[in-house]
Amino acid sequence: MKIIFYSVAAITFVGLLIIAIVRPEMVTKIMFKSDNASLIASGKVTYLQNCASCHGDNLQGQDDWQTPLASGRLPAPPHDADGHTWHHPDGMLFTITKFGPAAIIGDDYENDMPAFNGILSDDEIRAVWAYIKSTWPKRSQEYQQKMTQAENKENQ
Ligand code: HEC
């Protein structure tokens, strides 16, 4: 009985520690700037080096990206205006890039998207999104901005 109690306490403690470390970034008010030319240029370089192998040189994603692979996992979706990435608010995009989709969907979500925590700095991740956003038509940018504002309100 005691062992169970201590195990639960230890797991809870570690869990809280992880939340304390991870959460500030999850709730930071994130607004990727998509109107800063040098940020966009550096974000494009980082994108080509780290994301393009799966999401495509032109953000087009992998072929048949909506059809699951033999493994049951999904191919990499496009990040251009034809995909649905632009429906997601900044905080979510940041979290997926840094911690992987499982951080949003649930720990047991199996997928082929690597987490960039420890590989890209937060600023590099923001620059990548500044670049990606800059390629979206104004209407998508505006929609995505509204989603981000709503997300920020929720986190206040
Ligand atoms: C090794 C291949 C690979 C690389 C490299 C990669 N991704 Fe992905 N990414 C994927 C796959 C596969 C998915 C789909 C995961 C799923 O939903 O199951 C995905 C999904 C995503 C999503 C969720 C899109 C949505 O609309 O839900 C975002 C955001 C994303 N990737 C951003 C990035 C960024 C930014 C980079 C570079 C810093 C990157 N990815 C690099 C494979 C990759």
Report yes or no: 50 and 116 within 8 Å, Cβ to Cβ: yes
Instruction: Report whether pLDDT(27) > 80.
Output: no
Pocket test for ligand 1, best of 113, 116, 128 (most atoms within 8 A of CB): 113
Residues with Cβ within 6 A of ligand 1? Answer: 50-51, 53-55, 73-77, 84-85, 88, 93, 96-97, 101, 111-114, 116, 128
Residue boundaries of the structural domains of the chain: 30-154
Q: What confidence tens digit (pLDDT) does each residue in 96-151 have?
A: 999 999 999 999 999 999 999 999 999 999 999 999 999 999 999 999 999 999 99
Locate 116 and state its tokens. 């960039």
Give the CA dihedral 85, 57, 132, 97, nearest 10 degrees: 60
Cα dist from 73 to 16, 67, 100, 110, 123, whole Å: 30, 9, 14, 7, 29
Q: Which residue has the higher pLDDT, 19 or 137?
A: 137
pLDDT of residue 36: 86
pLDDT of residue 94: 96
- Domain formed by 30-154, architecture: Orthogonal Bundle (1.10)
**pTM score over 0.75:** yes
Half-sphere exposure of residue 4: CA atoms within 13 angstroms, side-chain side: 1
